[in-house]
Amino acid sequence: MLIKCLSTGMFDSNCYIVYNNNEGIIVDAGVSADEVMKFLDEKKIKIKYIVLTHVHIDHICHVDDIREKTGAEVLVHENDSKKLLDPSLNGSELYGQRMAFKPADRNLKDGDKITVGGIDFEIIHTPGHSSGCICIKAGDKLFTGDTLFKMARGRTDLGDGNEEEILSSIKNKLMTLDEKTIVYPGHGPATTIGAESIYY
């Protein structure tokens, strides 16, 4: 499994390209399609899915362009799916953009699994930052979106965020994982479950 992090997204959001055997997924879509396609073309990678950890504008602002250029399907948790269509729910309205996006191709639930390039990806529903936040586990790698960062957790004062829920998600779902699990967050540098466990 190979991972490329593009960190030039809105509010420095991270976009991950996770691939193996020239096939992969994209985790979050806050980086321009041109930047994404440049890397995909160089490595000759075919993207099967664009998986959104949640539907806030800094993680989705380029999703339709990337979907069009890659032909990939967009996957999002069922609780966040309708936010793609509504500027007041996806946060774009806060920045005067009022951006509505095309519907997701598939809605996800906790425990769903997808396999791409021989890699098994498990969906872990981690509500709190938003009601539809997910983390994506692939072996000893965990893509946490805005649920868990290095030495921090996601804010809960936006939309349907909830402080009790995010703490429960982190304590009961993420901190039960192996301490060597590498965490790739939606903003900032990577960390590990072990390193973050001291805060929870």
Specify the length of the chain in residues.
Answer: 200
> Helices (DSSP H) in 31-162: which residue ranges?
33-43, 57-60, 63-70, 87-90
Which parts of the chain are beta strand (E)?
2-6, 15-20, 23-27, 46-51, 73-77, 106-108, 113-116, 119-125, 134-138, 141-145, 148-149, 152-153, 182-185, 191-192
Domain ranges of the chain: 2-199
> How sure is the predictor about 177, in pLDDT bands with cuts at 50, 70 and 90?
very high
pTM of this prediction?
A: 0.97
Find tokens 């997924």 and name the residue. Answer: 25
Position 92 confidence tier, pLDDT thresholds 50, 70, 90: confident
Please tell me the class of the 2-199 domain. Answer: alpha beta
Q: What is the pLDDT of residues 135-169, one digit of tens each?
A: 999 999 999 999 999 999 999 999 999 999 999 99
Tell me how crowded residue 48 is: count the other CB atoms within 10 A of its CB: 20
Q: CA 93 → CA 5, 20, 66, distances in Å?
A: 27, 37, 21
Predicted pLDDT at 61: 96
| 15-20 and 2-6 beta bridge pairing | antiparallel
Q: What is the pLDDT of residue 110?
A: 98
Rounded to whole angstroms, how far apart are CA atoms 138 and 84? 25
What residues are paired with 108 via a beta bridge? 77
